[in-house]
Structures are given as structure tokens and as C-alpha cells.
Amino acid sequence: MKRFVASSLLCAAVVLGASACSSDDNATPEEAASSASAALCTNLVQLKSDNAALKALNPATATKDQLKSAYDAVQNDWKNVKENTSALKSAEKDAVTSAAENLKKAYEDLPGDTTGKDAITQLQPQIQALDTAATQATTANNCR
């Protein structure tokens, strides 16, 4: 019963927040909540993957175009995660949101003449913070 109530509440939160519950009238609240959770996991795993690619850029050889491409992939993933954050617990949501927004701000604050090497070096703390937050969120949600 507790599981059903929790799933129903999660589904209600998803419906109110992102309309991610299935419109299939035959889907149970548990199925809809499970679907939202699965979508969140998919998005978090992709965010972790693209953030790892950004983190792996070699400051000695990476170009500004490579940095921008990797950064854009992370931002696109973050947009997808945001659509499903209602399935995250508050602390996880706050941590991932803060880390993603801090990376975005740090990237946008880079001077236009910043080299790829300097940009990657300057962004490492924010990239690492996002990696940590996304890892904690995927672990807490049993994402595989």
C-alpha cells in the first residue's frame, strides 16, 4: 500500500510538473511513475556520459569548437533532465540543478578570447561538481 501511495504521489507530481505520465488510461499510477523514473534515468545517464566527455577533453589539445560542442551536448542533456526532475528527491534535484546552472554560468562568463586550454582548466571545478551530483542522483534512483 505504501508503495502504491508513493507511486501515485510521484505520478501526480510528474503530471503537475512535466506531464510525463502516460496518457494511456490503462496505465496504473505505478507504471506511469516507473516510466517517468526510467526517462529520468536515461537522461541522467546521458548527462553523465556527455559530462564525462567534456571532462576528458585534453586542455593541451582541445579547441574552442570541441569545448563548445561538448558543452552544448551537456546543456542539451540538462534540458532533458529538467523535464523529469519531479521524479528526483528535493536534495538530488537541488544538487543537480545547482551544478548544471553553475557550469552554464561559468561557461557563459568565459571571455571571448579564452583558449580551449584555459576554458577547460577554468571549468573543471564545475564539470566535476556536475559529475558528482549526477552520479549521486543516478545512484539514488537505481539507474543502470
* pLDDT band for position 34 (cuts 50, 70, 90): low
Q: What average pLDDT score do residues 21-36 get?
A: 54
In this predicted model, what pLDDT tens digit does every residue of 127-143 receive, in sequence order? 999 999 999 999 988 88
Dihedral angle, C-alpha 84, 78, 50, 103, nearest 10 °: -140
**Cell numbers linked to 36:** 517517468
What sign for the dihedral angle of Cα 90, 92, 98, 104? negative
Q: What 8-state DSSP symbol labels residue 110?
A: S
Instruction: Give dist(CA 132, CA 134) in Å, integer.
Output: 6
* pLDDT band for position 58 (cuts 50, 70, 90): very high
pLDDT for res 30: 56
Domains and CATH numbers, the chain: 37-140 (1.20.120)
How many alpha carbons lie under 13 Å from residue 131 in its C-beta half-sphere?
14
List of residues 6+ apart from 118 with CB closer than 8 A: 59
In this predicted model, what pLDDT tens digit does every residue of 76-130 receive, in sequence order? 999 999 888 877 888 889 999 999 999 999 999 999 999 999 999 999 999 999 9
Q: Which long-range contacts (CB under 8 A, 24 or more apart) does 29-36 make?
A: 29/4, 30/3, 30/4, 33/7, 33/8, 33/87, 34/7, 36/10, 36/11, 36/84, 36/86, 36/87
